[in-house]
């Protein structure tokens, strides 16, 4: 992401594209939004899995889970916003215009992904097709992951809890319970146990009345999804930078004195 940021900074110099519309401010704001969301994903993921010297409330896992999916979803949105801004000085008519309020409201990951379910199918915004083709292919190849994140976030934000259960850790550090004043046979031990594994519903938007128990082999777990999300974002940054270097022509490809 740092390389992409430096490329955008170089692009906004007066001897390249300039910054008369403050497109770079939009780009930098989006990138910093990505940084903040990724930091929040990591923090909430660590906290829900970590031994901490305080009892946990019954809603602890749900609190962290909802925050994780909000920030995953938002990181993808912020990256879309940033890359759309980077495209503005190059081909404003092919991207969403960052100087227009209505246009800003329409920015969406679907600008990158497209939507084949529409009639006619939506192939993605022209600017992303032309200037970020590697990124677009990467996102399309990960459409199911993105959709799963969006669905979990939508339900936790608008409908109900998404925590389905899971397995707690039983590997407390040496002396942990003694330090909390809890004996080995004390029933309060469960209050301190963090999660080892969190189960997610594979289709959280389905009506409850139609749901059947999910077979173990079909269960969705947070932990591998978090790893996939991390890989997805790292690869997205690499793809975006490679596309920018290949597709966005600069008059000067080095900072001038």
Residue 47 lies in a domain: yes
Predicted pLDDT at 216: 78
Residue 225 lies in a domain: yes
Q: How many domains does the chain have?
A: 1
Q: Report cis status (omega within 30 of 0) of the bond before 120.
A: yes
Residue 256 lies in a domain: no
Predicted pLDDT at 218: 77
Chain centre to alpha carbon of residue 150:
9
Residue 26 lies in a domain: yes
Residue 252 lies in a domain: no
Predicted pLDDT at 167: 94
Distances, alpha carbon 253 to alpha carbons 23, 154, 247, in Å? 19, 42, 13
Residue 28 lies in a domain: yes
Rounded CA separation 71/126 (Å): 27
Q: For tokens 């100087």, name the residue.
A: 99
Rounded CA separation 239/257 (Å): 29
Residue 257 lies in a domain: no
Rounded CA separation 68/74 (Å): 10
Residue 222 contacts residue 198 (beta carbons within 8 Å): yes
Residue 253 lies in a domain: no
Q: For tokens 């590697």, name the residue.
A: 134
Predicted pLDDT at 215: 79
Which residue range forms the structural domain that includes residue 180? 2-247
Give the total residue count for the chain. Answer: 257
Identify each DSSP E strand in the chain by its residue range: 165-168, 195-200, 220-221
Predicted pLDDT at 211: 78
Q: What is the pLDDT along the chain (257 residues), one digit of tens a residue?
A: 899 999 999 999 999 999 999 999 999 999 999 999 999 999 999 999 999 999 999 899 999 999 999 999 999 999 999 999 999 999 999 999 999 999 999 999 999 999 888 777 778 899 999 999 999 999 999 999 999 999 999 999 989 999 989 999 999 999 999 988 888 777 788 899 999 999 998 888 888 878 777 777 778 999 999 999 999 999 999 999 999 999 999 999 999 98
Predicted pLDDT at 147: 95
Predicted pLDDT at 31: 97
Rounded CA separation 204/164 (Å): 10
């Amino acid at each position: 992401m740092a390389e992409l940021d430096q490329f955008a900074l170089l692009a906004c110099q007066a001897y390249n594209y300039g910054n008369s519309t403050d497109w770079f401010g939009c780009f930098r704001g989006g990138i910093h939004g990505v940084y903040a969301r990724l930091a929040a994903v990591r923090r909430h993921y660590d906290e829900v899995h970590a031994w901490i010297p305080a009892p946990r409330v019954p809603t602890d896992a749900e609190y962290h889970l909802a925050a994780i999916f909000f920030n995953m979803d938002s990181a993808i949105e912020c990256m879309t916003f940033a890359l759309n801004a980077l495209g503005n000085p190059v081909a404003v008519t092919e991207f969403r215009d960052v100087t227009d309020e209505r246009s800003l409201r329409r920015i969406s990951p679907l600008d990158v992904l497209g939507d084949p379910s529409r009639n006619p199918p939506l192939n993605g915004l022209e600017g992303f097709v032309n200037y970020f083709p590697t990124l677009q292919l990467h996102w399309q190849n990960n459409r199911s992951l993105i959709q799963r994140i969006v669905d979990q976030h939508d339900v936790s934000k608008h409908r109900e809890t998404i925590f389905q259960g899971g397995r707690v850790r039983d590997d407390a550090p040496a002396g942990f319970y003694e330090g909390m004043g809890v004996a080995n046979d004390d029933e309060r031990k469960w209050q301190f146990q963090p999660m080892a594994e969190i189960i997610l519903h594979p289709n959280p938007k389905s009506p409850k009345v139609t749901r059947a128990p999910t077979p173990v082999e079909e269960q969705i777990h947070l932990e591998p999804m978090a790893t996939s999300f991390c890989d997805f974002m790292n690869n997205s940054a690499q793809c975006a930078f490679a596309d920018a270097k290949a597709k966005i022509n600069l008059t000067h490809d080095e900072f001038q004195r």
